[in-house]
């Protein structure tokens, strides 16, 4: 008795079956305190008891129990006590009882063909295709089937054996992950074109702040996506967590992040598990979207599907690490501690500079595009050029001796219509006769001033 009265001691059911038996005993408790003179009197008491709702263990809603169920519990308790109310383990536990042989074969074939696809997506797709009646089969039934056939993800996935601790940023916008994954090849104009998906994920909420479908994975795509994320949310992250690829280790990215007071963190090389949150998102995106794109015909089509998947599924779906909340709910309702980032600050931070030599025709190359200047005196010079990444469509400029000279894209047709001008075409005259005729001067010297021959 002293043990039960000690501080912190708690008497509880030893396991779930005993907890269920105790609950059933509480349901029939009013019957156990009475002595019935006839079966009819017992039947009336059971009928009254069946009109009350009860909350089963682990349930979130109350329910009624039938008269037959209550009567069965009563006689079992009278005969065997609490052991008579303990639920027995089913002989077919682990087997999917609600599936026909054809349905089992179909589900197992789909899982073998798409081992990384989630059970929920398999069920939803088969229901939409009409191959399974909606609501006819539960997720738990399909999961039991997969476990019994060795097709569950735990069995299929090969673990690397490492022990890792789970971690998470303490607030939104404290840490953003950025990464790129390879999608299925596209067919555009009869050519095979690669597909690259760039995305930025908030660590605290798992919310995707920006995503873009491109054909390359250069630093410029990463910078454009970062700009899009900051302009879309009005916030900047305190730090970016990246891998060690060339896309994320360039000097331009380091300069921009330093100007915006954004820390740069790079994961350990050759250790994809170190970036588990991003890898987990890519797996979800593949299972729910990329693996079912077929052969896309355009980047626009892929982008539309990506945004639809985020809006309709990923951002709304309950997340285990978020206590059942969706990423959008967590990100959009969380308090913000950082000041908003406006276009002025972004424009200043996202101005990049470089050195280029102006060709003799006034042109120079910037980012694979040919630009030209009308300032002809800069031809042949090495100059400083600048451009803002805030507006990719804005033209760059030349900075020379404190002046800024705008650059424009080369327009060969317009140049053909321009009047040809030499370097001295517009030099002003000063009232002197500057005619220069060496043959004429020699002839004058030969014949003399009076025109006679010498």
Residue finishing a domain among 61, 85, 109: 85
- Does residue 366 share a domain with residue 297? no
CATH of the domain at 205: 3.30.420.10
Residue 190 lies in a domain: yes
- Does residue 239 share a domain with residue 126? no
C-alpha 132/C-alpha 125 separation (Å) is 9
- Does residue 317 share a domain with residue 367? no
Q: Would you state the torsion angle of the CA atoms of residues 211, 217, 222, 224, taken in this order, to the nearest 10 degrees?
A: -80
C-alpha 418/C-alpha 408 separation (Å) is 15
| Residue 138 DSSP one-character state | -
- Does residue 221 share a domain with residue 293? yes
Residue 168 lies in a domain: no
* Cα distance from N-terminal residue to C-terminal residue, the chain: 150
- Does residue 319 share a domain with residue 243? yes
C-alpha 251/C-alpha 352 separation (Å) is 10
- Does residue 214 share a domain with residue 300? yes
Token couple for 433 = 């006769």
- Which structural domain, as residue segments, surrounds residue 134? 101-156
C-alpha 16/C-alpha 59 separation (Å) is 13
3-state class (DSSP) for residue 200: strand
Residue 340 lies in a domain: no
Residue 198 lies in a domain: yes
- Does residue 308 share a domain with residue 274? yes
Counting beta carbons within 10 angstroms of the beta carbon of residue 58, is it exposed (0 to 12), middle (13 to 18) or buried (19 or more)? Answer: exposed
Residue 61 lies in a domain: yes
Considering the entire predicted model, what is its pTM?
A: 0.52
Tell me what pLDDT residue 147 has: 83
C-alpha 28/C-alpha 82 separation (Å) is 12
φ, ψ (nearest 5 deg) of residue 6? -70, 150
CB 203 within 8 A of CB 313: no
Buried b (16+ CB within 10 A) or exposed e, 354-386: eebebeeebebeeeeeebbbebeebbeeebebe
What does the longest C-alpha to C-alpha distance in the chain come to? Answer: 167
Residue finishing a domain among 281, 307, 333: 333
- Does residue 61 share a domain with residue 152? no
Give the pLDDT means over successive 10-residue stretches in the chain (454 positions).
46 79 87 84 90 85 88 89 79 56 84 80 84 82 84 61 58 90 87 92 93 90 88 88 78 82 78 75 90 87 93 87 83 80 81 86 85 87 84 83 86 64 51 67 70 52
Residue 343 lies in a domain: no
- Does residue 329 share a domain with residue 182? yes
Starting at the edge strand found earlier in the chain, the sheet holding 397-400 runs: 351-357, 382-388, 397-400, 403-406
Tell me what pLDDT residue 5 has: 44
Tell me what pLDDT residue 91 has: 53
Domains of the chain: total? 4
- Does residue 362 share a domain with residue 310? no
Residue 94 lies in a domain: no
- Does residue 368 share a domain with residue 263? no
- Does residue 389 share a domain with residue 294? no
Residue 210 lies in a domain: yes
């Amino acid at each position: 008795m002293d043990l039960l009265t000690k501080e912190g001691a708690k008497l509880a059911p030893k396991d779930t079956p005993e907890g269920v038996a105790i609950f059933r005993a509480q349901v029939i408790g009013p019957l156990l305190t009475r002595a019935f003179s006839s079966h009819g009197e017992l039947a009336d008491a059971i009928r009254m008891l069946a009109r009350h709702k009860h909350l089963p263990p682990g349930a979130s809603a109350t329910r009624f129990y039938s008269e037959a169920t209550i009567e069965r519990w009563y006689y079992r308790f009278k005969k065997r006590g609490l052991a008579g109310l303990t639920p027995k383990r089913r002989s077919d536990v682990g087997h999917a009882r609600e599936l026909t042989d054809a349905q089992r074969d179909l589900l197992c074939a789909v899982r073998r063909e798409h081992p990384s696809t989630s059970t929920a997506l398999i069920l939803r797709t088969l229901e939409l295709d009409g191959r399974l009646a909606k609501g006819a089969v539960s997720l738990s039934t399909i999961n039991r089937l997969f476990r019994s056939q060795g097709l569950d993800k735990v069995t299929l996935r090969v673990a690397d054996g490492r022990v890792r601790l789970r971690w998470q940023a303490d607030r939104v916008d404290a840490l953003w992950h950025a990464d790129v994954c390879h999608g299925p090849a596209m067919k555009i104009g009869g050519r095979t074109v690669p597909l690259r998906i760039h995305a930025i994920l908030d660590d605290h909420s798992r919310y995707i702040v920006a995503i873009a479908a491109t054909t390359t994975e250069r630093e410029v795509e990463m910078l454009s996506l970062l700009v899009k994320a900051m302009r879309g949310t009005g916030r900047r992250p305190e730090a970016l967590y990246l891998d060690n690829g060339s896309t994320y280790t360039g000097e331009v990215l380091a300069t921009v992040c330093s100007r915006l007071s954004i820390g740069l963190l790079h994961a350990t090389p050759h250790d994809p598990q170190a970036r588990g949150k991003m890898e987990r998102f890519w797996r979800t995106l593949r299972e729910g979207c990329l693996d079912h794109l077929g052969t896309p015909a355009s980047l626009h089509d892929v982008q539309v599907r990506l945004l639809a998947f985020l809006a309709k599924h990923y951002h709304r779906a309950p997340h285990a690490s978020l206590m059942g909340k969706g990423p959008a709910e967590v990100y959009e309702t969380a308090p913000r501690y950082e000041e908003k980032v406006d276009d002025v600050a972004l424009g200043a931070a996202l101005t990049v500079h470089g050195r280029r030599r102006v060709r003799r025709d006034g042109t120079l190359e910037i980012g694979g595009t040919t630009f030209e200047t009308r300032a002809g005196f800069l031809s042949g010079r090495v100059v400083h050029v600048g451009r803002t990444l805030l507006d990719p469509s804005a033209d760059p400029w030349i900075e020379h001796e404190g002046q800024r000279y705008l650059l424009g894209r080369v327009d060969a047709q317009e140049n053909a219509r321009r009047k040809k001008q030499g370097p001295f075409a517009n030099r002003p005259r000063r009232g002197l006769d500057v005619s220069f005729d060496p043959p004429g001067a020699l002839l004058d010297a030969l014949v003399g001033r009076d025109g006679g021959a010498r």
